[in-house]
Structure 1
Amino acid sequence: MTFVLNMNQRQRALYDQVKNASEGLNLDKQQIFGDAETQAVAEALKVNTKLTWLYLRQNQIGDPGAQAIAEALRVNTRLTGLDLSANQIGDVGANAIAQAIKVNKTLTWLHLSKNFLTDTGITTIRQTGNTICKLDNLDEQRVPSPAEWAQIAARVVANVAEIQQLRSEIAAKEQVLAAKDQELATNVQDLQQLRSNLVAKDQGLATKDLKLQSALDRIDVLERSQPAGGSASSFDQPIPQVPLATLVSATNNFADDSLLGEGAFGRVYGASLPGPPVAVAIKKLSAESIQHYAAFQSELKSLSKFRHPNIIVMLSYAEAQDEYCLVYEFMPNGSVRDRLNRKNNTPPLTWSQRHRIAADVARGMHYVQTAFAGHVLFHLDLKTDNVLLDAHYNAKVSDFGLVRAAEHLDEKRYLRTQNAQGTVAYMSPEFLVDGRMTIKTDVYAFGMILLELVTAMKAAVQLKTDLRKAVKTQNVIGMLDSALKPTEAEQESINEIVTLALKCLDEDVDERPSFGSILVQLGP
């Protein structure tokens, strides 16, 4: 195929002539008809299916040309007669033709007389075993004349020169390939080095990330362990009272466009107090809640004297003409319930954020139950609506409107009330049915919050039942909030949280963990 593509004009003309010939073709006594031209004829014979006889007498076909013809005879199944007499074919060419007619079954006559065959070449032709092909005047051979010797020598010299040229070209190409190979090897080595450098950098970044995260965790633990603004005793002062008119002005007379939300104890408004701008949330107590306010006013003031990172800060209050307003720090990310609902198209909470919220709530509630040496406080309305998030998604427990206190209460004793209030889904059985309060009452509500953090579903008795079934069937992942795509490590953490939640939701009070042991399980 390469030869056909690189033929000169003379070779191309011969090739087309033979390729398109039918029946017979006479190419006797062609001037300058040598081996190269014979190569073109041979290539055409390989594809011609109509030519039956071919005369190539009295040309200058040598052994290379005879070898090309022999290759064509191996594949041609149409040619029946071939005359190569009076050329310059020697024993080498005769041997190639002999090998071809061993396999060719269509050639019936072949003329090789008046060539340069010796007895060896003649014997080779005759011993092919082919009984179909007739060999005429094979013994009639000749000796090259001085002119023919000169032609043969010239061809040999030309062939040698051509071979040398080809070798030079091959050597040059091999050098180019060697250079390319070396360049490729260098590039591969450079690429491997770059990959090694990237791996090393990735490992270095991973190490730095771990160190940074460890430092941030330590800072977070330290910050959380320190009361805001100093020690607890530094806030052992009455809550500042501000004029009600100040709050009326800040909220534009409690206008609807300042309203942030509404709960059981009243409406909450957003505002900015005069002086250095301070964003606050102002809760205006409803008429129905005012009758309860006097009963727990002392507990509210006692609790607010202590600052804790996970308890909402009461900044001040206003009281005038039977109207009561409580002023709290503003929490820009709203409630955990709002974030689980993705209110206002906010992005979903990550598992890391949810786990931290759980720890924050437990830490805040542990503080509520242990901050006062003389008595224990109950929240009694702990729920995701009452857990608020600051700008960094740190959680703070809020809405202590139902807080009750009991002196010297331990894990076995309880306080009874005839007026159990709160949100039913979060109320423990003993509190809901009998009005009995213990330090494990708020733990039950905390367990429900944990299930909400895992599933994003709203609190309900059925949610507890469904999670218990999921644990038994090992299908907790089927109840996850669809926004969560946990890693393997996070899935393990989720399973641990679900197990902890169900312990907190145990109907038996004594089987529920305390907030102190919950903190140990959740980690710092």
Structure 2
Amino acid sequence: MSRCFGFRKKWKDIKLKLEDEVKDNRKPAIKNVHDALSSELTALASKFNVESRLGSNPPKDESKNPDKPPTYTYRELATATNNFREESFIGEGGFGLVYKGKLERTGQVVAVKKLNHSGLQGDPEFLVEVLMLTLLRHPNLVTLFGYCAEGNQRLLVYEYMSLGSLEDHLHDLRPDKEPLDWNTRMMIAAGAAKGLEFLHHQAEPPVIFRDLKSANILLGEGFHPKLSDFGLAKFGPSGDKSHVSTRVMGTQGYCAPEYATTGKLTSKSDIYSFGVVLLELLTGRKALDDNYGRDKQLVEWARPMLKDRTRITQLADPLLRGQFPESVFKKTVDVAILCLQEKANNRPCMQDVVTALNYLASRKYNPNKANTAEIKGIEDYSSSGTNTSTIGSPIGTKLLNIGVDREQAVAEARMWGETWREKRRKSANSSPESHDGLYT
């Protein structure tokens, strides 16, 4: 597997400096924001080929110097957004308001996030987000074009994602818009998974997103998904550490149970959140909805149907109007079950999730040929008597134990099955409990 960049020590130094500032309750001087970015990025540029990591979409006005994100004046961004007027407003994130704008110097349409002065994202977090999005480039991560750190103003300039967020299309759909069809939902799920896989397995050191939710999955042309809003992202554990201890942050309804109760953060915390997003795509329900009273938590509401295989299709979003392949739907639910395991070690890694979703997304649904997407040769849990309350690795042993017409998919499935069987064997040998399912 290729590594996107190899400067662990540099990132560690940056992280330690920022953590010290937070502990001391000191905000770095404005000058330090620019100095930190310039010095760290210049040092990295002299040692590594940054251009090879940035991909084919550098900021237009800084293409000759992609190492350093361009800076903008507050006046430039105010002009671009028509002075941040209501007609330019396109959304609200955890740390501020987002506006659509057009840069005078390039004519480029962008999204400008104006951070709240009283928000949770101070200079250390602002600096980390700028550094991460400058150095981490992937087709499924939103591109940062530049920033403004002028006086007490903090603004981030991103590529404009024309179709808004996944949350908009699932929960706040305008009357003149069509709901997402099955094939589009699966494409979005697979793409978002690839972005998370990149952060967990290709970034060095790994990055834990920490706030994965449908509102932070933005959609471009053709509903191409990209992860956005890295304000809460953390560097993963290094050396022999198994987790990162941190203040519990994120969004209610998406937080992994072990992180919410202990503050111990791992990549498996992100995977739980991804399982919630997958349930959102399948059901059309919000992760947390006070309108449903005792059933306000999506995972709790879904629990009875996830336990009973005969009720699985009752989970389906009514807006799908029954237009989905039943067998693929059930297998996608199984992926969600794996991601939502109570015990973090029983959750798959994102590489495995990507493998499954890539295959399932490839089974396109054709409403004119209802059986075209069905997966043949898979044992149905509902008819096999399998107790899904203790499923430990159904993807490896049953979900993708399939007779398909593509040798590559079969090979991937077998490899995945072997990996999961080995993991379960080790888990059984090291713990008196051989299973710790979703329903404990």
**With structure 1 as the length reference, what TM-score do the two structures score?**
0.53
* Alignment check: 8 A CA contact 1:429 1:507 kept: yes
Distance across 2 between alignment mates of 1:434 and 1:392: 40
Offset at 1:301?
A: 1.2
Secondary structure of the equivalent of 1:260? strand
- Paired residues in the alignment total 294
Distance across 2 between alignment mates of 1:372 and 1:307: 10
Q: Name the residue aligned to 2:315.
A: 479
Amino acid at match of 1:307: R
For the structure 1 residues 239 and 385, does the alpha-carbon distance in structure 2 shift closer, same or farther, using more than 3 Å as the test?
same
Q: Name the residue aligned to 1:416.
A: 245
Amino acid at match of 2:318: S
Q: Name the residue aligned to 2:186.
A: 355
Deviations 1:154-199 (A, max 9, x none): xxxxxxxxxxxxxxxxxxxxxxxxxxxxxxxxxxxxxxxxxxxxxx
* Alignment check: 8 A CA contact 1:467 1:476 kept: no
Given the alignment, which residue of 287, 298, 303 partners 2:117? 287
Offset at 1:295?
A: 3.9
Deviations 1:193-216 (A, max 9, x none): xxxxxxxxxxxxxxxxxxxxxxxx
For the structure 1 residues 501 and 508, does the alpha-carbon distance in structure 2 shift closer, same or farther, using more than 3 Å as the test?
same
Offset at 1:438?
A: 0.5
Offset at 1:258?
A: 1.0
Deviations 1:67-118 (A, max 9, x none): xxxxxxxxxxxxxxxxxxxxxxxxxxxxxxxxxxxxxxxxxxxxxxxxxxxx
Deviations 1:279-307 (A, max 9, x none): 11100000123653324513531332232
Q: Name the residue aligned to 1:332.
A: 162
* Alignment check: 8 A CA contact 2:253 2:298 kept: no
Amino acid at match of 2:190: A
Offset at 1:509?
A: 0.5
Secondary structure of the equivalent of 1:343? coil
Amino acid at match of 2:203: F
Amino acid at match of 1:358: A
Secondary structure of the equivalent of 1:427? coil
* Alignment check: 8 A CA contact 2:80 2:101 kept: yes
Secondary structure of the equivalent of 1:425? coil
* Alignment check: 8 A CA contact 1:282 1:326 kept: yes
Q: Name the residue aligned to 1:508.
A: 343
Q: Name the residue aligned to 1:45.
A: none
* Alignment check: 8 A CA contact 1:235 1:306 kept: no
Offset at 1:485?
A: 3.6
Amino acid at match of 1:480: A
Amino acid at match of 2:56: G
- Equivalent pairs: percent with the same residue? 33
For the structure 1 residues 370 and 303, does the alpha-carbon distance in structure 2 shift closer, same or farther, using more than 3 Å as the test?
farther
Q: Name the residue aligned to 1:369.
A: 200
Q: How does 1:345-494 map to 2 (within 5 A)?
A: 345=175, 346-373=177-204, 375-408=205-238, 413-417=242-246, 419-460=247-288, 462-473=297-308, 474-486=310-322, 490-494=325-329
* Alignment check: 8 A CA contact 1:235 1:305 kept: no
Distance across 2 between alignment mates of 1:501 and 1:435: 23
Deviations 1:309-356 (A, max 9, x none): 110111111110110100001111111111012522210101100001
Distance across 2 between alignment mates of 1:367 and 1:446: 14
Secondary structure of the equivalent of 2:272? helix
* Alignment check: 8 A CA contact 1:342 1:348 kept: no
Amino acid at match of 1:258: S
Distance across 2 between alignment mates of 1:485 and 1:275: 47
Q: Name the residue aligned to 1:241.
A: 71
Offset at 1:371?
A: 3.3
Secondary structure of the equivalent of 1:303? helix
Distance across 2 between alignment mates of 1:444 and 1:308: 22
Distance across 1 between alignment mates of 2:151 and 2:262: 37
* Alignment check: 8 A CA contact 1:426 1:444 kept: yes
Amino acid at match of 1:415: V
* Alignment check: 8 A CA contact 1:503 1:511 kept: yes
For the structure 1 residues 392 and 228, does the alpha-carbon distance in structure 2 shift closer, same or farther, using more than 3 Å as the test?
farther
Q: Name the residue aligned to 1:496.
A: 331
* Alignment check: 8 A CA contact 2:209 2:234 kept: yes
Q: Name the residue aligned to 1:122.
A: none
Secondary structure of the equivalent of 1:344? coil
Secondary structure of the equivalent of 1:229? coil
Amino acid at match of 1:422: G
For the structure 1 residues 340 and 311, does the alpha-carbon distance in structure 2 shift closer, same or farther, using more than 3 Å as the test?
same
For the structure 1 residues 495 and 227, does the alpha-carbon distance in structure 2 shift closer, same or farther, using more than 3 Å as the test?
farther
Amino acid at match of 2:332: I
The structure number with the bigger radius of gyration is 1
Amino acid at match of 1:446: F
Q: Name the residue aligned to 1:229.
A: 56
Q: Name the residue aligned to 1:307.
A: 137
Cα RMSD, aligned residues only = 2.4
Offset at 1:236?
A: 6.1
> Where do 4+ consecutive residues of structure 1 move more than 3 Å?
485-488
* Alignment check: 8 A CA contact 2:164 2:220 kept: yes
Offset at 1:380?
A: 0.9
* Alignment check: 8 A CA contact 1:283 1:325 kept: yes
Secondary structure of the equivalent of 2:260? helix
Distance across 1 between alignment mates of 2:239 and 2:91: 35
Distance across 1 between alignment mates of 2:66 and 2:98: 26
For the structure 1 residues 296 and 268, does the alpha-carbon distance in structure 2 shift closer, same or farther, using more than 3 Å as the test?
closer
Distance across 2 between alignment mates of 1:342 and 1:285: 23
Distance across 1 between alignment mates of 2:322 and 2:120: 46
Distance across 2 between alignment mates of 1:491 and 1:361: 22
Q: How does 1:105-116 map to 2 (within 5 A)?
A: none
**With structure 2 as the length reference, what TM-score do the two structures score?**
0.63
* Alignment check: 8 A CA contact 1:241 1:316 kept: yes
